[in-house]
Structure 1
Amino acid sequence: MDATAIDHLNLRVPADGPEEAVEFYGDRLGFTIEGMDRYEADEKPFFDVRLAPAHVLHLWPTEEFEPPSGNGFNHVAILIDDEVATVERQLDEAGVTIENRHDSPLGATGRAPAVYVEDPFGYRIELKATIEE
């Protein structure tokens, strides 16, 4: 089996969380929100956060939502085509609190600076720079 990339990741969010999700992922982080019209029309049970041309987060609003705990889910790492200082500035301007910064965490593409934020539902998001400072 020859995998080439992760196509999507499913994250559950609270049933009343779509507006917060759009505000955080769309307005604050600047990702494109897709499929909201189909979700709102009950044509599909989730909507998407477009991370890159071939990569999305499927956000599944559900009444059974439970925030991630320290015993299971840890974080999603997203490669950002920029320097970490630029990412930090953009997050500050968007009012997003940086929980932590690591200068060289190891990931699939090697080591690079990264910052960690938390979404409104308790998911930890690693924003990993792809351009060295």
Structure 2
Amino acid sequence: MNKVLLSVHVLAAIVLIGPVTVAASLFPRYVREKEPGVLRALHRISGGYAVAGLAVPVFGIALGAQMGVLGDAWLVISMALTALAGVLLAAVIVPAQRRTLAAVERDETPTGPNLGMVTGIFALLWAVVVVLMIVRPGSTTGV
């Protein structure tokens, strides 16, 4: 069962979290180029994949419970960083994309958070989570 949960967790992370991170990261570039069609597509990917991406922590928590490691520090930190990334995406990035897209469509100058910086932090959070998942400092479950 662990292998199935791990496989689904990793595949979901690659297929769902990867694209939302890329789409969110590309959005600021196309704001500068004032490409509303591309911005609409990137915003749709960011929002849609964010919802589907909820499968990643669901399967991750199921796997952690199955392995008996939910209390391990590396996993607790990973879950906290995942929650922070999710909040950043849902509360800052996607709403800012929506407002920015509307401003570009009205041919106005977008205002709001620096999306390049915020999406960089979002991507960095995922990078740290991946490293923690691979290295698992203090884990006694083996490599």
TM-score with structure 1 setting the length: 0.22
- Structure having greater relative contact order (Cα 8 Å, sep ≥ 6): 2
Relative to total residues, which structure has the larger strand share, 1 or 2?
Answer: 1
TM-score (norm 2): 0.21
